[in-house]
Amino acid sequence: MTDRPTLLTGLRERALEYLTMTRALADADRLPEEDRAAAAAMLAEAWQKRDAAEALLGRGSAAEAIALATAGAALVREAAKRLPAEAALSRPRVRRALEDMERTAAELSPAPALDARVTGAQRTALRALLGAELSLERPLREASLDRRGLLRLRRQRAVAAALVVLSPVAAVAFWRGSVMGITARASGVLDDQYAADRVLDGDPDTEWVSSGGDEWLELRFRPRVVHSVRILNGDTLPDRAVRSFRVELYDNVTEYPTSKKTFDRQHPAEWQTVDFGGIKCDRIRIVVESHYGAGAAIAEVRLD
């Protein structure tokens, strides 16, 4: 019984910090601008190397993937040293991910020169390293924000919390993000109005709209069995929609790809369902192979 007040107090404190970001703002005020900018640049390069390593591994180039992933881990490690950000880096999950990253990067050094020299144990360690780096992306990105970026994030959280109270649709989106742990990211966005997480808000009138470069949309979540993925094409903008795509499921970084699917029209928007039959995974990636007009757009993604 004595533990209950402590537990409730801890939950209340975490909820308050989530909405007010008091500690995060204090961290940002203590962090010199040159250190923050350097950390942000290192992290951006690290995530780019991680994504490239994952793509190389999928194509069978494990040696190059190891070299890129360990280089990315070194950048993450150096960036974390520049971030005081106790509010983010002191979380148990973040600490464990940093420790896992350090351990697996050490196991992979030095990187093999040839694919033929990559052992099964090294492939397993590489998958663990890529998973650890992926789990660090969101907390470290937030930890590297300046005061202006944090205040913008705080406003977004406050608006989301208010909408949860006022809107059933927003409550569903909040439940997806907080309880199911689903988050979205993309290769690029046209602007903040068309961010990746628009595909999770339950509103078919909001969309992720790509920047027009390499185009993919990725959902991450706690490990679960996925039977199918349902995708609603975008049609809000006259020159942005998906034409053809494929879906990749990942268990850590083991890939389960599908064949190409096509939306036969841009207007009105239609749903496409991709069946997997029940695969346990922690991530899906929708890779756009062609689009209508100037770029891709997706309104909703649902996992069943």
Structure confidence by residue, pLDDT tens digits, 24-47 = 777 777 778 888 889 889 998 998
The more confidently predicted of residues 110 and 166 is: 110
Q: Helix, strand, or coil here: 158?
A: helix
pLDDT at 251 (0 to 100): 81
pLDDT digits (tens, 9 = 90+) for 140-188: 888 888 788 777 777 766 766 665 565 555 555 554 554 456 888 888 8
CA dist 164 and 126 (Å) reads 39
CA dist 74 and 113 (Å) reads 19
pLDDT at 2 (0 to 100): 47
Tokens 């990105």 map to which residue? 141
pLDDT digits (tens, 9 = 90+) for 62-97: 999 999 999 999 999 999 888 875 556 667 788 888
Tokens 């005020």 map to which residue? 29
CA dist 182 and 180 (Å) reads 6
CA dist 130 and 114 (Å) reads 19
Q: How many residues does the chain have?
A: 304
Q: Show the DSSP H helices in 108-255 as ranges.
A: 120-143, 147-166, 168-178
pLDDT digits (tens, 9 = 90+) for 231-269: 999 988 888 999 999 999 888 667 787 889 999 988 889
**Residue among 175, 103, 101 nearest 133 (CA):** 101
pLDDT at 55 (0 to 100): 80
Task: Name 242's bridge partners.
Answer: 291
DSSP state of 254: E
Question: 12-17: long-range contacts at Cβ-Cβ below 8 A with a sequence spacing of 24 or more?
Answer: 17/87
